[in-house]
Amino acid sequence: MRNLERLSTGIRGLDEILAGGVPEGFFVALVGMPGTGKTIACLHFINAGLALGEKAIYVTTEESRESIIRQAAQFGMDFEKAVREGRLIIIDALMRASSDEWNLNLVTVEEMLDKVIEAKKRLGLKARRLVIDSMSAFWLRAPVKAREESYTVKRILAKWNLTVYATSQYAITTGGAFGWGLEHIADGIIHFKRRIINGVLTRYIIVEKMRQTPHDLRAWEIAIIDGKGLVLLNPLTRRLEDEALPEKVSRRIKKVLSGEGQ
């Protein structure tokens, strides 16, 4: 779509596979297993805005504000300065005991939305990006609420001119989300995955949905590099199924599929 304004993800290769970036006002779900790069992708998104002179809001539920600032610093992003200068508000839902005005007392969707709106009013028009990392924390005890509350979050935030990244974790054991919901209401889904390939932890992402966008459908291998952050390497060329099977078995399957084995 030519007339859609797009926001950079802060990850060059990712902007390209999204036909230029995330359409303004979209609600994008970043989903996947632990340690796959969701938080780091969020840092890039925020940093891209700050670099353009925007302001931004980051809600962190599983890591403290300090942890987010430290992680960003490892990739050359100065969040500490942005917070100090009033360009970035990090709403902390983990360190609840502290009396900081941007800490949440209760981990509820309602309180989180109130704080986000307060932050948006404080930052004004220049605040265009919001990260909620992660939404799963709100539904740990009540996964059934996920769908209804995801809808509420999207509906309420739609009035505030924010482009939103919301992360959601998939359990290691089942591969399932802690409550389904985000995926259905989201305008876009970026799935973060991992797999052991030749004895090495390989991470990759797939854009599973991005409305109004002719996006790339391939799985892209990613790397997380100290001092730099998340980079897209190349599309996974071999089928993942091939990688998981012993060489002999995958050769046999290929033969059968190509008709040679009959």
Ligand X SMILES: Nc1ncnc2c1ncn2[C@@H]1O[C@H](COP(=O)(O)OP(=O)(O)OP(=O)(O)O)[C@@H](O)[C@H]1O
Contacts to ligand X by CB under 6 A: 34-40, 62, 74, 169, 192, 224-226
Residue 250 main-chain phi, psi, to 5 deg: -70, -30
Of 16-24, 36-44, 157-165, 190-198: span binding Mg ion (CB under 5 A): 36-44
Nearest-5° Cα angle at 176, 172 to 179: 125
Return the one option of ligand X, Mg ion, none that residue 64 interacts with (CB less than 5 to 8 A, by type): none
> Which of 9, 39, 150, 202 forms a contact with Mg ion (CB under 5 A)?
39
The entry of ligand X, Mg ion, none near residue 136 (CB within 5 to 8 angstroms by kind) is none
In angstroms, give the least distance from the CB of 80 to ligand X: 16
- Pick one of ligand X, Mg ion, none as the site partner of residue 143 (Cβ within 5 to 8 A by kind): none
**Minimum CB distance to Mg ion, residue 60 (Å):** 9
Give the integer Cα–Cα distance in Å for 110 and 99.
19
Task: State the nearest-atom distance from the C-beta of 35 to Mg ion, in Å.
Answer: 8
Alpha carbons 73 and 69: distance in angstroms, whole number? 6
169, interface contact from Mg ion, ligand X, none, CB < 5-8 Å by kind: ligand X
Nearest to 214 by CA among 8, 20, 9, 24: 20
Dist. CA 119–CA 98, nearest whole Å: 18
How far apart are the C-alpha atoms of 182 and 28, rounded to whole Å? 9
Q: Which is nearer to Mg ion, 74 or 250 (CB)?
A: 74
CB of 169 to ligand X, least distance (A): 5
To the nearest 10°, the Cα dihedral for 49, 51, 53, 54? 10
Q: What is the dihedral of CA 249, 254, 255, 259, to 10 degrees?
A: 140
Shortest distance in whole angstroms from residue 131 CB to ligand X: 11
Taking the complex as a whole, how short is the minimal distance between the CB of residue 41 and Mg ion, in angstroms? 9
Q: How far is the CB of 61 from Mg ion (least distance, A)?
A: 9
- Selected range binding Mg ion among 9-17, 31-39, 177-185, 219-227, rule: CB under 5 A: 31-39
In degrees, rounded to 5, the angle at the alpha carbon of residue 196 between the alpha carbons of residues 193 and 199 is 155
Residue 115, token pair as written in the block: 């704080």
Report if residue 61 touches Mg ion, rule: CB under 5 A: no
Name the one range near Mg ion by CB under 5 A: 38-46, 148-156, 211-219, 239-247.
Answer: 38-46
End-to-end alpha-carbon separation of the chain, Å? 47
Contacts of 112 (CB under 8 A, 6+ apart): 59, 91, 93, 104, 132, 138
Distances (CA, A) of 135 to 143, 179, 212: 11, 10, 24
Cβ closest to ligand X, residue 36 vs residue 150: 36
Interaction residues for Mg ion, span 177-196 (CB under 5 A): none
Chain residues in the site for Mg ion (CB under 5 A): 39
